[in-house]
A = this chain, B = another copy of it.
Amino acid sequence: MALTIGVDIGGTKIAAGVVDEDGQVVEHLLRPTPARNSEQVAETIAEVVAELVEGREIEAVGLGAAGFVDETRSVVRFAPNLAWREEPLQKKVSDLVGLPVVVENDANAMAWGEARFGAGRGETHLVCVTVGTGIGGGLVFDGTLYRGRWGMGAELGHMQVVPEGRLCGCGNLGCWEQYASGNALVAEARQIAERDPARAAGLLELAGGSPDRIEGQAVTEAARRGDPAALAAFATLAAWIAQGLDDLAAILDPGCFILGGGVSRASDLWIDQVRENFARDLTGRGHRPVADIRLAELGAAAGVVGAADLARLR
C-alpha cells in the first residue's frame, strides 16, 4: 500500500499525517508553527516528516501552505501569515527529507481532499469555499485541480462584492471575505449591538456587556438562544455567502459547492438560508439545474489528505 505524507502549514500550527491511497489518515501529528522565521518553518516541517517516515515506506510529501504558490508548485511567492517571500519551500524541504516534495496552496489542498475523499466524491466540477477568519477557495474542473496560469487561481475571497466597501487585508476595498467570513459575522454583530443594544441584549450579556468584546462564539451561542441581533448577523452572513456563490455559479457553473472552514461548524444557523438565497438569485434560474450546496466532510483533515494525495499524483 503506497503511503504519502500531507502537511498543512497554517499561521499558528502545522498539521501532518501519513495518508493511504483511500485517503485514510494512518498517523497524525500537530506542531505549533515557529514564529515568523522561514528557516525554522522548513526545519519543523522536516522534523515532522522524519518522525512520520520512521519505519514506513513513504513515496512523497505534499505541503499545503497558506499563500501564493507558483505554477511549478515549488516556490511560495507570498505568504502574509508565514513571513515568506519567494520562499523555495520545495527545495528546502526536499533537501532536508530526501523525498519528492510538492507544494500547494492550502485551500487548494483542502478542496482536493474534499473532492477526492469527502463531500465532492463523484463530482466533476466543484467549487470549495472555506469560510473561516477569511475565505479560502479551491476549484476542481473536469476532475482536475485548477491552479490558473501562474498557480494563483481560486483566490475567491478577493472578488469585490461592494464598490468602495470594507478594507481588506489584500489592500483592496469590498472583497467578499470582508462580508462572508467569521470576521465579517463578528463585525456585523458588533455593529448591531452598538446601534441597538436592546435588540442585542442576549448577545451583549454573553460578551460581558461590551460590543467590542463580542466574538464568534458568543454570536453563535446567542443565535442558538434566539437572540435577534445574533440571528440578524447570521442572516447577513448567509446573504453574502449566497451572493458570492451566485457570482461563482454565473462564471463557473459547478455541479456543487462545498462549504468548509471554522464558520461551517455553526452551519445549522445559516446553511438553509444560503441555499434559499442562492437558488432565488441564480442567474438563468428556471432554465438551468441548481448546484448542490454541501458541507465539507473531512474537517481539519482535508488539507493533510489533499496534500498527501496531490503528492501521490505528482
Where the two chains meet, the residues of A that have a C-beta atom closer than 8 Å to any C-beta of B are 68, 77-78, 85, 123-125, 137, 139, 141-142, 144, 146-156, 158-163, 170-172, 175, 243, 246-248, 250-255, 281, 283-285, 287-289, 291
Contacts and interface: CB of A to CB of B under 8 A. Distances in A.
Contact of A250 (B159, B163, B252, B254): B159
Given A85-B287, A125-B149, A159-B251, 15 more contacts: A77-B288, A78-B287, A123-B149, A141-B146, A148-B252, A148-B253, A149-B289, A152-B253, A156-B250, A160-B161, A160-B247, A161-B163, A162-B163, A163-B243, A172-B281
A148 B175 CA distance: 24
A154 B152 CA distance: 19
A153 B252 contact: yes
11 contacts: A68-B288, A124-B149, A148-B252, A148-B254, A149-B253, A149-B255, A151-B253, A154-B253, A158-B283, A160-B243, A251-B251
Contacts of A284: 68, 78, 152, 155, 158, 170
B288 A150 contact: yes
B148 A125 contact: yes
Contacts of A146: 141
A68 B123 CA distance: 21
Nearest to A247: B159
